[in-house]
């Protein structure tokens, strides 16, 4: 009788554990209420970002001199120039889930951006588009559409001149 109760208890615990393992996990980020996003973005989860400009001081980006690769150095130099724009951008490497990032800016306030092509391409895309006068919301719409994938990084292979 005691053996049957232990066996039944073990089966119930195993069933509960299996049930919990099969329940889908919800993403760390949720889709903000932003009318500037295309409908396709509403259909699939957009990584975390901030809808509005920051109210507080933003974190510093890492010093480009810490990195040896010129493309990475330029990515960090660019990020330092456009922190307010990056604060309002999602990052499609989904570091919001794996690293707890709240926007693309977090990638360059840490070493994460140095080893992630997605972060670097999105950074350069945001830099180029904001330089053309696009707002953070317009840049974000382009990132959501995947336009960052077409950035030509060859122009970033030489170190930027010092300011």
pLDDT in tens, 6-56: 555 554 544 444 443 333 333 323 334 444 444 444 446 898 888 988 889
| pLDDT higher at 16 or 67 | 67
CA dist 26 and 116 (Å) reads: 24
The answer on pLDDT for 155 being more than 70 is yes
CA dist 127 and 75 (Å) reads: 9
Residue 125 CA: distances (Å) to CA of 22, 56, 143: 38, 25, 8
How far, rounded to the nearest angstrom, does the alpha carbon of residue 46 sit from its chain's CA centroid? Answer: 9
Cβ-contact 33, 79 below 8 angstroms: no
Domain residue ranges of the chain, discontinuous segments joined by +: 39-156
Q: How many other C-beta atoms lie within 10 A of the C-beta of residue 86?
A: 32
Q: What is the pTM of this model?
A: 0.72
Helix 70-81 × helix 117-131 angle, to 10°: 50
Q: How many other C-beta atoms lie within 10 A of the C-beta of residue 9?
A: 10
In the predicted model, what is the mean pLDDT of residues 127-152? 96
Copy the structure tokens of residue 96.
Answer: 């919001």
Res 68: pLDDT? 95
CA dist 130 and 127 (Å) reads: 5
* Exposed / middle / buried, residue 108 (Cβ in 10 Å: 0-12, 13-18, 19+): buried
Copy the structure tokens of residue 9.
Answer: 């208890």
DSSP state for residue 135 in the 8-state scheme = -
Res 71: pLDDT? 97
pLDDT tier, 135 (very low <50, low <70, confident <90, very high otherwise) = very high
Copy the structure tokens of residue 8.
Answer: 């039944």
């Amino acid at each position: 009788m005691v053996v049957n109760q232990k066996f039944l208890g073990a089966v119930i615990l195993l069933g509960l554990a299996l049930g919990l393992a099969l329940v889908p996990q919800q993403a760390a980020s949720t889709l903000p209420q932003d009318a500037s996003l295309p409908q396709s973005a509403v259909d699939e989860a957009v990584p975390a970002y901030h809808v509005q400009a920051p109210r507080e001081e933003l974190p510093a980006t890492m010093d480009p001199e810490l990195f040896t690769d010129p493309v990475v150095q330029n990515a960090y130099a660019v990020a330092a120039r456009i922190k307010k724009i990056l604060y309002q951008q999602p990052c499609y490497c989904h570091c919001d889930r794996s690293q707890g990032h709240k926007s693309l800016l977090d990638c360059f306030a840490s070493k994460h951006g140095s080893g992630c092509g997605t972060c670097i391409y999105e950074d350069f895309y945001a830099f180029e588009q904001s330089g053309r006068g696009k707002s953070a919301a317009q840049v974000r719409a382009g990132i959501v559409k995947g336009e960052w994938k077409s950035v030509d990084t060859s122009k970033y292979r030489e170190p930027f001149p010092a300011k």
